[in-house]
Amino acid sequence: MQARLYQKVQLRDVEHAVQFLVDNKFIVKTGDGQFLPSEKQLDCFTGVYRLSLGEFHRQMFSLAAQSIDLTPRDQRNLLGHTLLIPESQIESLRNILDETLKKVEALGSEYREAGPVYHVILSAFPVIKKG
């Protein structure tokens, strides 16, 4: 597994991370030694998870940027759109992203066999300061 990661990660760190995921039932180890996702979802809206979420997103955005150079185009999809939007419509934008994420989650829950692991990022943020 370590050799398949795009980032260099120490073997002991990979082992600890995998053990954490198995112990907390986020992944399951099959009889033939493969790891597959379980039905359990991790929701990071409260507590200690919320504190770690910002760093997690930074790391994922970094991987997304690296994928431009490291991943063939047919294996990635990077889209973006910059728009002027009234503050009164920000909630509508959030709802669109929330609905899209639910569709992505539903797609992921359909499959339990081994395959590539993708991280999908949906983001909206201001590119200029208010004022």
How would DSSP label each residue in 92-114?
HHHHHHHHHHHHHHHHHHT--S-
Q: Is residue 123 part of a domain?
A: no
Specify the number of domains making up the chain.
1
- How far is 59 from 46, CA to CA, in rounded Å? 20
Q: Is residue 3 part of a domain?
A: yes
Q: Quick one: the chain helix, strand, coil %, rounded to 5?
A: 50, 5, 45
Q: Is residue 8 part of a domain?
A: yes
The pLDDT of residue 96: 98
- How far is 44 from 55, CA to CA, in rounded Å? 12
Average pLDDT, whole number, for the chain? 84
The pLDDT of residue 109: 79
Q: Is residue 59 part of a domain?
A: no
The pLDDT of residue 4: 64
Compute CA distances 66 → 70, 72, 102, 104, whole Å. Answer: 6, 11, 26, 22
Domain that holds residue 17: 1-42
Measured at the CA of 108, the angle between CA 102 and CA 112, to 5 degrees, comes to: 150
Q: Is residue 58 part of a domain?
A: no
Q: Is residue 17 part of a domain?
A: yes
pLDDT for residue 39 is more than 80: no
Q: Is residue 68 part of a domain?
A: no
Q: Is residue 34 part of a domain?
A: yes
